[in-house]
A and B are shown apart, each in its own frame.
Chain A
Amino acid sequence: MQVSVKNVRKEFDRFPALHDVSLDIVSGELIALLGPSGSGKTTLLRLIAGLEYPTSGAIYFGDEDASHKSVQERNVGFVFQHYALFRHMTILENVSFGLKVRPRETRPAAAEIRRKALELLDLVQLSGLEKRYPNQLSGGQRQRVALARALAIEPRVLLLDEPFGALDAQVRRELRKWLREIHDRTGHTTVFVTHDQEEALELSDRLCVMSQGRIEQVGTPDDVYDRPASPFVFGFIGESSELPATVENGEFWVDGRAIGVAATDQAPGKGKLYFRPHDVDLVEADAALAGVVAGHRRVGGTRRVELSVGGDHRKVELDLPFDHPAGEKTRLAFRPRRWRFFPEAV
């Protein structure tokens, strides 16, 4: 099901949680809403579900305007961050709830409901636990029950609010892979909220980066990582360093020195230069950025060196292989190999 969010604004007691947000969700895709706390991710998800109504703007399911439809009418599967399993029902009863509450005309027979629920429990790899109660399951298992319960109603869209937020790193990674498999198998249009960029980059077909109630960028993980559309996205996705720089004579200048990097396609003027720790080359030349080593630490298989650059000691991070001889130096010169320049707003 294609879902379109059109110029949606949402205010809580005059406080705008979303400003003029538009987003097209393609049928069958797995899209992540990513952003810092308070950026409006949950609000957007709840608006799509119908748990909240927009102050202005519209939400379309396919060609149909769903803005004023109730949650029940929208037929969405919602997975809550804290599972919201019904504690007095067994796992099987939880999963069959959505089918049992259907009006008589559309409700399957009891045996059929049971068969379907068991099948879903099998899909989420919880066969054999159907008689347990939610408090007898681990966090990861509860989350899978919540997903099975949402899938049972054959939702038009599946919405997940920080589905793995309350789980430890190991379980998160497993469930992540598993969610991707389920998505590929069932083909549901899926929107999930996360503030874990690694999760968003790894799991989603596209991701939508949000900040302060606005969408900053929508694109594939490669797009967003390699071609961030704004300073915010550059800073938020992946590691990055920034330096104030000036474009002059087709070159970048930092602290009054040319750094030997051609400013391809950039208009002259002031702005900020962004680059990632692993996108730099160490050089021996004079025309380069240089800094004093302020410390280093291990990050995965590489050594991350922290440099202090320029008179005002701006912090810049570089990645070096562990055995790199430069790791022992106290002063390093480097040039960003890949970068982005965002001119100052005039």
Chain B
Amino acid sequence: MQWLLIAISLAFMGLFLVMPLYAVFHEALRQGVGVFFQSLQSRDAQSAIRLTLLVAAIAVPLNVVFGICAAWAIAKYEFKGKAFLITLIDLPFSVSPVISGLVYVLLFGSGSLLGPWLRANGVEILFAVPGIVLATIFVTFPFVARELIPLMQDQGTGDEEAAISLGANGWQTFFRVTLPNIKWGLLYGVLLCNARAMGEFGAVAVVSGKIRGQTTTMPLQVEMLYNEYNGTAAFALASLLALLALVTLVLKSILEWRFGDELAASGRH
């Protein structure tokens, strides 16, 4: 029985996870390594990679800061509307990314209240990098906060109170006591946040306008290339994303294995 179950799950995973992964790399390298690297070096591919890195480089640190603030507030203080705030943090997980993107279109588009004013002042948000960053921040917001809230709730305020009673000020308390206590959980959250920030398709597709070489991130570029029957180039770029996923997976497993007791995720999920 045990073996049957294991065999079924292995077969299932093979069919739905390993095969596609294999297919991606297989397609990418079908015409040889030379073509693979060539397609990665094309101007559009390079710009897509740069944009993706840029977006992640802005969205991830911001979400680290927001996530820590939100988790801190929720875990260490009592206030009205706390339950509501927790629900709000989960919102990006529960709405379809396409809707998240559309919200920004409604907010900043030409038909919106802000749109004409923004245009008059020369601020471009939609169909430009700021829009992509905003959409990415929205979609990836929960990762850090969700990882930290249970962790910080578990740890309580004892250590912080000890630190301030010993004379430490707010910053010293945060950097010397709180941060070291949550560092592995934070890293875990950052990892997931980053993977999603680089891989996000839906929300970004809505706000980007897909201007080639300017507002296409890697996932968008993959789709565009694929639609143009440029399979090798599409899969070459896709293989980078797949690689990112694999690296994330490995790092995540290492964190879980090595610091399991300091992560909220392992005990709870």
CA distance A86 to B180 in the complex (A): 9
- Interface status of A78 (Cβ within 8 A of chain B): yes
CA distance A85 to B181 in the complex (A): 12
Q: Is the interface of A mostly helix, strand, loop or mixed?
A: loop
- Interface status of A49 (Cβ within 8 A of chain B): yes
Inter-chain contact A71/B177, CB cutoff 8 Å: no
Of chain A, the residue at the smallest CB distance from B168 is A101
Inter-chain contact A78/B168, CB cutoff 8 Å: no
Within 8 A of B (CB), among A77-105: 77-78, 80, 82, 84-88, 97-98, 101-102
Contacts between chains A and B (CB distance < 8 A), count:
58
Of chain B, the residue at the smallest CB distance from A96 is B166
Shortest Cβ distance from B159 into chain A, in angstroms? 5
Inter-chain contact B180/A153, CB cutoff 8 Å: no
Inter-chain contact B181/A88, CB cutoff 8 Å: yes
- Interface status of B211 (Cβ within 8 A of chain A): no
CA distance A216 to B30 in the complex (A): 87
- Interface status of A51 (Cβ within 8 A of chain B): yes
Proximity string of chain B (154-179) to chain A, C-beta cutoff 8 Å, 1 when within and 0 when not: 00001101111111110010001100
Proximity string of chain A (46-85) to chain B, C-beta cutoff 8 Å, 1 when within and 0 when not: 0001010000000000000000001110011110101011
CA distance A91 to B206 in the complex (A): 54
Q: What's the tally of chain B residues with a CB closer than 8 Å to chain A?
A: 16
Residues on the B chain within 8 Å of A98, using CB: 166-168
- Interface status of A149 (Cβ within 8 A of chain B): yes
Inter-chain contact A71/B165, CB cutoff 8 Å: yes
Inter-chain contact A84/B167, CB cutoff 8 Å: no
Inter-chain contact A72/B169, CB cutoff 8 Å: yes
Shortest Cβ distance from A55 into chain B, in angstroms? 16
Residues on the A chain within 8 Å of B164, using CB: 51, 70-72
Inter-chain contact B162/A86, CB cutoff 8 Å: yes
Q: Is the interface of B mostly helix, strand, loop or mixed?
A: helix
Q: Which of B165, B168, B176 contacts A76 (CB 8 A)?
A: B165
Of chain B, the residue at the smallest CB distance from A85 is B162
Of chain A, the residue at the smallest CB distance from B172 is A101
Residues on the B chain within 8 Å of A85, using CB: 162
Shortest Cβ distance from A246 into chain B, in angstroms? 51
CA distance A153 to B166 in the complex (A): 7
CA distance A97 to B166 in the complex (A): 7
Inter-chain contact B166/A149, CB cutoff 8 Å: yes
CA distance A70 to B163 in the complex (A): 13
Inter-chain contact A101/B169, CB cutoff 8 Å: yes
Shortest Cβ distance from B17 into chain A, in angstroms? 37
Shortest Cβ distance from B183 into chain A, in angstroms? 8
Residues on the A chain within 8 Å of B165, using CB: 49, 51, 71, 76-78, 150
Inter-chain contact B180/A88, CB cutoff 8 Å: yes
CA distance A102 to B169 in the complex (A): 9
Inter-chain contact B167/A78, CB cutoff 8 Å: no
Residues on the B chain within 8 Å of A149, using CB: 162, 166
CA distance A76 to B166 in the complex (A): 8
Shortest Cβ distance from B177 into chain A, in angstroms? 6
Inter-chain contact A153/B158, CB cutoff 8 Å: no
Residues on the A chain within 8 Å of B162, using CB: 78, 80, 84-86, 149
Inter-chain contact B181/A101, CB cutoff 8 Å: no
Shortest Cβ distance from B180 into chain A, in angstroms? 4
Residues on the B chain within 8 Å of A101, using CB: 163, 166-169, 172, 176
Inter-chain contact A80/B161, CB cutoff 8 Å: yes
Residues on the B chain within 8 Å of A51, using CB: 161, 164-165
CA distance A70 to B164 in the complex (A): 9
Of chain B, the residue at the smallest CB distance from A93 is B176
Contacts A72-B167, A97-B166 given; does A78 touch B161 at CB 8 Å? yes
CA distance A302 to B155 in the complex (A): 46
CA distance A86 to B181 in the complex (A): 8
Of chain B, the residue at the smallest CB distance from A75 is B167
Task: Count chain A CB atoms within 10 A of each CB in B161, B162, B172, B177 and give the residue with the most.
Answer: B162
Residues on the A chain within 8 Å of B161, using CB: 51, 71, 78, 80, 84
Inter-chain contact A86/B177, CB cutoff 8 Å: yes
Residues on the B chain within 8 Å of A152, using CB: 166
Contacts A72-B168, A72-B169, A87-B181 given; does A97 touch B163 at CB 8 Å? yes
Residues on the B chain within 8 Å of A72, using CB: 164, 167-169
CA distance A49 to B165 in the complex (A): 8
Residues on the A chain within 8 Å of B158, using CB: 80, 82, 84
Within 8 A of A (CB), among B138-168: 158-159, 161-168
Interchain Cβ contacts under 8 Å between A and B, 5 examples: A49-B165, A72-B168, A78-B161, A80-B161, A86-B162
Task: Identify the B interface with A (CB < 8 A).
Answer: 158-159, 161-169, 172, 176-177, 180-181
Nearest first, the 8 closest Cβ-Cβ pairs linking A and B are A98-B166, A84-B158, A84-B162, A78-B165, A101-B168, A88-B180, A101-B172, A71-B164
With A71-B165, A80-B161, A101-B166 known, 9 other A-B pairs at CB within 8 A are A51-B164, A51-B165, A75-B167, A76-B165, A84-B158, A86-B159, A86-B163, A86-B180, A88-B181
